Structure 1
Amino acid sequence: MIITATPRYTRIIAEVWKPLTALFVWDVAVTVAYFVLPFKAPSLPLTLFGSALALFLGFRDTSAYQRWWEGRVLWGAMINASRTLAREVVTFLPYAREGELWDLKRTIVLRQIAYVHALRCQLRRIDPAPDILRFLSADEAARPLSRTNIANGLLDGTAGRIAKAQRRGFIDTIQQTQLERTMTDIANAQGGMERLKNTPLPNQYRFFPTLFTRLFCILLPIGLVETLGWATPVGSTIAGLMFLAVLQIGEDLTDPFANSVHDVPLSAMCRTIEIDLLQAIGDAAPAPLAPERDVLW
């Protein structure tokens, strides 16, 4: 996620320079053809076309931003639920600083940290094993790593340990129910994230805005050449840049977990969970994740 209020123009140009270059070449070709081989430029209702296209692109960008914001809200819920789980485990289970009971507390909390990292990696389509093995032993990580949905495997294992604590008499059924309610909140948040990741915008939302924007950019110099003359390439390219930039915004926000500079800062939020949960059990915690070149990952 880019955290600066003012975007870097070099980054914007890097994302649209290819279609922008093609547009400029087309603008120059139309302008040269108009003066070398004079033709009557048709009267085009560019204002009407542009207004309709702007509304269309605005509606698409709003839909894309809603997806991005929902992803951020779901991860906010994950942070809160993770803190709640750690607090309940520490306070519900009897006090201990060593032995089986202490190991059970630490295991549940460390599994939750491994879980959020695994979920982050699954959403970004990268291997979660290295992050999981930072918190769990190879033997304990083997079973969830064998699952198709690794994060869900970790969550199932945590639920099993909570059930074991109830059978051993460490917690009562009311406390187990409360812990299960927190686990359900975590599972619901994961389901929402997977829905966003696995359900793209409808094809019409992706195909037609791109088609209409490119068509408008093709017609733009033809409608402007009589008015702007030799300045047509500059004027048409600048106007096209605005529409191409708005089109690109929708592309950038459609997938909030794309592991790009525009997505939800999953790494930073997982680090926040890691810090809070490690400190909840009295372990040393790393520093918060710092931005890299104005990007928080």
Structure 2
Amino acid sequence: MIVKATPSLKQIVREVWRPLMILFVWDVLVTVAYYRPSFSAPELPLTLFGSVLALFLGFRSNSAYQRWWEARSLWGLMINASRSLARGVRNFMPDPAAAPLKREIVRRQIAYVNALRCQLRRQAMDEDIGRFIEDPVQDPALGRVNVANGLLDGTGRRIADVRAKGWIDSIQQTQIEAVLVDIANAQGGMERIKNTPLPVHYRFFPTLFTHLFCILLPFGLVETLGLATPLGSTVAGLMFLAVLAIGDDLAEPFDNRVHDLPLSAMCRTIEIDLLEAIGDAPRPPLQADKYGVLW
């Protein structure tokens, strides 16, 4: 996610130079053809086309932003629930004999959020998972299709073991289980967003109509702008392509691109808070790179 108020000039150029060049070349060709005696520019209702297209793109961008914001809200819930789990485990189990198991549960939650991050980004499980599991080779959760859910199930079993040993009572167990339910619900919401893309009509038709509008745009402007048509048509077309790109960037918030959610940074936030809760020294927070992107 870009965290600067404005993206870097290099980042902007890298994203827009290709469509800019294509638009400009097409507009130059239309302008050159206009000054041939045999050419007659068709009369097109560009104002009507542009108004309808702007409404269409605005509705699509709003739908994409709703997905992005829901994903961010679910990760906010995950951060808060992880803190609540660590606080409950720490406060409900003051017995010194419970210290190893309490530490294991908290560190397991850190492994869980990192496993969820990898699953949402469709990445292989990385070292940040095995680092916080007591026995990563023997842990059955790492062999499951849904590793994150396996880790959460293992945490639930350990809470049950704590109750069986008498370190917490049934009311405390119920409170901790309620936190685990919140975590599972947040994971389910994230998986729903990841596995349910925008309907194909939301993705195909805005792209088709925007490109078609950019093709027709110089025909409608050349009689008014003349030799300035390549500049005016390119800038106008770029505005519509920018709105189209905004929808594309926000529609998939877990794809590990520059505009997506900074899952790595949020997992590090959880790691810092939970390790400090059990008295361990955490790693420093992740910082944005030189382009102002926080991953």
Report if TM-score (shorter chain) is over 0.5.
Answer: yes
How far is 1:280 from its partner? Answer: 0.5
Structure-2 residue corresponding to 1:67: 67
Q: 1:141 to 1:109 in 2, by over 3 A?
A: farther
Separation of aligned partners in 2, 1:289 and 1:67: 25
Separation of aligned partners in 1, 2:220 and 2:239: 17
Q: 1:181 aligns with which of 169, 178, 181?
A: 178
Separation of aligned partners in 1, 2:274 and 2:187: 19
Structure-2 residue corresponding to 1:218: 215
Structure-1 residue corresponding to 2:293: 295
Q: 1:102 aligns with which of 99, 102, 105?
A: 99
Q: 1:141 to 1:247 in 2, by over 3 A?
A: farther
Contact 1:31 1:225 in 2 (8 A): yes
Structure-2 residue corresponding to 1:143: 140
- Between stretches 4-13 and 161-170, larger displacement belongs to 4-13
Separation of aligned partners in 2, 1:9 and 1:239: 20
Structure-1 residue corresponding to 2:118: 121
Map residues 185-264 of structure 1 onto 2, 5 A cutoff.
Answer: 185-264=182-261
Q: 1:155 aligns with which of 152, 155, 159?
A: 152
Separation of aligned partners in 1, 2:136 and 2:218: 66
**Structure 1 SS opposite 2:99:** helix
Separation of aligned partners in 2, 1:138 and 1:232: 67
Structure-1 residue corresponding to 2:85: 85
Q: TM-score, normalised by structure 1?
A: 0.96
Contact 1:117 1:131 in 2 (8 A): yes
Task: Name the amino acid aligned to 2:57.
Answer: L
Structure-2 residue corresponding to 1:29: 29
Structure-2 residue corresponding to 1:284: 281
How far is 1:37 from its partner? Answer: 4.1
Structure-2 residue corresponding to 1:42: 42
Separation of aligned partners in 2, 1:9 and 1:44: 35
Contact 2:104 2:134 in 1 (8 A): no
Q: 1:143 to 1:284 in 2, by over 3 A?
A: same
- Between stretches 68-77 and 121-130, larger displacement belongs to 121-130
Separation of aligned partners in 1, 2:130 and 2:116: 14
Contact 1:159 1:180 in 2 (8 A): yes
How far is 1:4 from its partner? Answer: 1.1
How many residue pairs end up in the alignment?
Answer: 294
How far is 1:14 from its partner? Answer: 2.1
How far is 1:43 from its partner? Answer: 1.4
Contact 1:252 1:262 in 2 (8 A): yes
- Between stretches 182-191 and 126-135, larger displacement belongs to 126-135
Contact 2:136 2:142 in 1 (8 A): no
Separation of aligned partners in 2, 1:281 and 1:8: 40
Task: Name the amino acid aligned to 1:41.
Answer: A
How far is 1:40 from its partner? Answer: 2.0
**Structure 2 SS opposite 1:36:** coil
**Structure 1 SS opposite 2:179:** helix
How far is 1:38 from its partner? Answer: 3.8
Unaligned regions of 5+ residues in structure 1, if any? Answer: none
- Between stretches 18-27 and 159-168, larger displacement belongs to 18-27
Provide the aligned C-alpha RMSD in A.
1.3
Separation of aligned partners in 2, 1:9 and 1:55: 29
Separation of aligned partners in 2, 1:10 and 1:68: 25
**Structure 1 SS opposite 2:35:** helix
Separation of aligned partners in 1, 2:44 and 2:233: 14
Unaligned regions of 5+ residues in structure 2, if any? Answer: none
Q: TM-score, normalised by structure 2?
A: 0.96
Separation of aligned partners in 2, 1:283 and 1:35: 75
**Structure 1 SS opposite 2:257:** coil
Identity percentage of aligned residues? 68
